């Protein structure tokens, strides 16, 4: 199936490892030109070497909103205007609803809400002018069913999902789609840390996930590549669970 992504410029946040890397590699396989962004330059360089299409490395920290706002301009100088934006940020520290100081709440808000908003704001004028664009928000299954002990993530990922749903309605007639993916249990360093080890995460998946295993970043990337494709032009404003059936809600 030709997804129509050849030559498209994609900015993938958090692309140095895990889900972000899986997305970047999948888009690269479809011929998109990939701007890889994260804080670890060496890790990004390694990812870039394995992608078979044109790439650029653009360092960024989602806590630095001024730098985030300028990021799409840097991508345009290296590869061209951003046509596909994937907002992806590592999760904040675990803890209950009353376990974090105000500073932690503010940091999570900057990273998980304000940074994606700033990126969308920066790329949308060009997308509107060209009459085409794709924005994908890497969210969590917690936007449907909050997860115990992840208060910062639960609260702020819900906020971002609500923001992007509102945005989807506002830009749909401009040829731009905006969707979120409700992420389940995937084989990433973040999940291994939360469970104590990857082996423990795998055991949890066998017990909690109907398909009986963790998801892979490659599977995640394949879904996002379709969402970003020409063939998904009628798909917008959605929250798509990718969790092996773990969510109990309809």
The answer to the question of residue 208 being in a domain is no
The answer to the question of residue 112 being in a domain is yes
Tokens of 249: 């809600």
Helix (H, G, I), strand (E, B) or coil at 9: strand
pLDDT at 52: 84
Report the CATH number that the domain containing residue 116 is assigned in CATH.
3.40.50.720
pLDDT at 99: 97
Q: Nearest-CA neighbor of 65 among 121, 9, 141?
A: 121
Domain of 144, in residue numbers: 9-185+216-242
3-49 pLDDT, tens digit per residue, is: 999 999 999 999 999 999 999 999 999 999 999 999 999 999 999 99
The answer to the question of residue 211 being in a domain is no
133-150 pLDDT, tens digit per residue, is: 999 999 999 999 999 999
Q: Nearest-CA neighbor of 38 among 115, 134, 109?
A: 115
Containing 104, the helix (H) or strand (E) segment is helix 102-109
pLDDT at 155: 97
The answer to the question of residue 206 being in a domain is no
The answer to the question of residue 250 being in a domain is no
* Total number of domains in the chain: 1
The answer to the question of residue 190 being in a domain is no
The answer to the question of residue 191 being in a domain is no
Tell me how far apart the alpha carbons of residues 236 and 143 are, in angstroms, rounded to a whole number.
17
The answer to the question of residue 106 being in a domain is yes
Residue ranges of the chain with per-residue pLDDT less than 50: none
How many Cβ atoms sit within 10 Å of the Cβ of residue 204? 16
pLDDT at 186: 95
The alpha carbon of residue 148 and the mean position of all alpha carbons in its chain are separated, in whole angstroms, by: 22
Alpha-carbon distance values, 240 to 59, 89, 146, 148, 220 (Å): 29, 18, 16, 21, 11
pLDDT at 88: 97
pLDDT at 77: 97
């Amino acid at each position: 199936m030709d997804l129509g992504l050849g030559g498209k410029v994609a900015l993938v946040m958090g692309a140095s490892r895990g889900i972000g890397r899986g997305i970047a590699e999948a888009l690269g396989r479809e011929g998109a030109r990939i701007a890889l962004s994260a804080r670890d330059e060496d890790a990004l360089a390694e990812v870039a070497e394995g992608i078979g299409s044109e790439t650029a490395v653009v360092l960024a920290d989602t806590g630095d909103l001024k730098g985030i706002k300028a990021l799409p301009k840097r991508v345009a100088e290296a590869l061209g205007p951003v046509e596909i934006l994937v907002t992806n940020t590592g999760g904040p520290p675990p803890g209950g609803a009353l376990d974090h100081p105000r500073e932690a709440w503010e940091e999570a808000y900057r990273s998980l809400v304000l940074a994606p908003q700033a990126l969308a704001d920066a790329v949308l004028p060009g997308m509107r002018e060209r009459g085409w664009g794709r924005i994908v928000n890497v969210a969590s299954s917690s936007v449907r069913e909050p997860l115990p002990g992840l208060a910062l993530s639960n609260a702020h990922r819900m906020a971002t999902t609500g923001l992007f749903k509102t945005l989807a309605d506002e830009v749909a007639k401009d040829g731009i789609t905006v969707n979120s993916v409700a992420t389940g249990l995937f084989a990433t360093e973040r999940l291994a840390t939360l469970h104590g080890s990857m082996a423990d995460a795998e055991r949890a998946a066998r017990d909690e996930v109907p398909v009986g295993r963790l998801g892979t970043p490659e599977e995640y990337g394949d879904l996002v590549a379709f969402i970003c494709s020409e063939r998904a032009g009628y798909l917008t404003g959605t929250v798509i669970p990718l969790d092996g059936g773990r969510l109990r809600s309809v």
